[in-house]
A and B are shown apart, each in its own frame.
Chain A
């Protein structure tokens, strides 16, 4: 349904004074999402997760340039088409209630989403009520303002905004940090449910545990590239292909809790060759030659020439 290949995003920035520089923040990003599937997009901050979401929603700033291909339902996704599909065929579940209008009751805001999707105001209200009932939100919730919601309720309201649309692709941006484990599980179940309805769900997160709880596949981003796309089971089974994914898995508190030294390279001085080579234990002279292509290894995609180990 959604297929992204070799996506690149470059920003034009002002250096000192009037000099301009080109900053390539995303290079060779690949991702596919099928209908009825939850795909987790995982990576450290600065790996390009949020920028990908912004590109899909067509809300990149003016000084950004795109390259590569993005296709949605078989047709190329141009910024113009993104704008037309935004909130309709592609919906976002925002990170917090901070993204809602603080001066409007949540009932009216959710209803408005329905109306923007072509429903009459009566039909939108009925649908909003039904959605609130479905998520066990008491009828009084509709009259509340965003700041009056508890953490769990807020998450359910935010999910409702996406349910009301006919969106084929739902993007959930970091829905879990700082939430109580019960609320996390509940939120993730809602995402699963959206996928069961035949939608594609893209879960942007840095939380491996949350991702594995709900996702079918996990795409791992590093410094603006997709380094691996693995099935969720691959993690626990030890079937991971890329050294970075393995390191991430090992650094969980319930595993070894051991960090890999070094930093994700900054977009200003990306190394030649493999982007991970300065932190990699498997590095050889070949890694410095060129950036590895995405390859299919053991039923998953990986961008590493030593992945067969």
Chain B
């Protein structure tokens, strides 16, 4: 009865410190994104001017992303475009998160008709095709950078508002909050000490996961031509231009900026998932 033998080899295998790995991952993603945003100021505008002798070169050591039909360096163009897209995405997602939090909190705490109205607006937004709505709003406010920001900002808050409303309702009906009322705590005290700490992690994760949506939609609007003006190197415009050249064999004009867009969206997605797994006490121990 005293013989001790391991039951499970696989479960005892050495595991590197998961929390450490996640933190490194978060750091790398954040670094990558910050680098992308700041890159235009680092590399300067040189690559944006046409050099006609270097037209249509495939990717090489000198031009990692190749050059376009005017001899412009695609790497500089893509980075400039990506940086702009990220900045617009951040701004739009930030505004969206503010609207979402405000309305979600209002719906959850005030209840009654406020809740009904907010839920109704959310339902309306959900029932309309997202891209159509984006195009309509961007068009209605006159297009351009402002148009894109407004359109993206006012259409992305709904899912976050819904999550926050649900969280607030859940916490509000929990035994411990109701007990807090019976202990004589005021609604404001309860909101500050019970609600806010509960909602902030949700907000943070929701905000991070909003970025990729906002960026993709900004790119989509520019792609179809109602976003930024054509001479600004936005990622959507670069991709739209490349369409005309893809059939002629200049694959790098679309593939390389596309990969860059994919990479940054994925980085945000990964960042959000990992921040979530760290903040959630249920998964943070694994």
Contact = CB atoms under 8 A, between A and B. Distances in A.
B2 A76 contact: no
Given A13-B285, A14-B284, A18-B19, A66 B11 contact: yes
Interface in B1-50: 1-8, 10-12, 15, 17, 19-20, 23
Contact of B11 (A14, A65, A77): A65
Contacts of B286: 61-63
A6 B2 contact: yes
Interface string A57-69: 0000111111111
Interface of B is mostly: loop
Contacts of B15: 12
A20 B15 CA distance: 12
Contact of B285 (A14, A30, A66): A14
Interface of A is mostly: strand
Contacts of B12: 65
A16 to B, nearest CB: 11
Nearest to B6: A67
Contacts of A79: 7-8, 10-11
A286 interface: no
A62 B13 CA distance: 11
Q: Which of B1, B8, B286 has the most CB of A within 10 A?
A: B8
Contacts of A13: 285
Nearest to A14: B19
A116 B192 CA distance: 49
Nearest to A76: B7
A66 B1 contact: no
26 contacts: A5-B1, A6-B3, A8-B4, A11-B285, A12-B15, A14-B284, A18-B19, A18-B20, A61-B285, A61-B286, A62-B11, A63-B285, A63-B286, A65-B8, A66-B8, A67-B4, A67-B5, A67-B6, A68-B4, A68-B5, A69-B4, A69-B5, A69-B7, A76-B7, A78-B7, A80-B10
Interface of A: 5-6, 8, 11-14, 18, 20, 30, 61-70, 76-80, 293-294
List the 3 closest A-B pairs by CB distance, nearest first: A66-B7, A5-B1, A79-B8
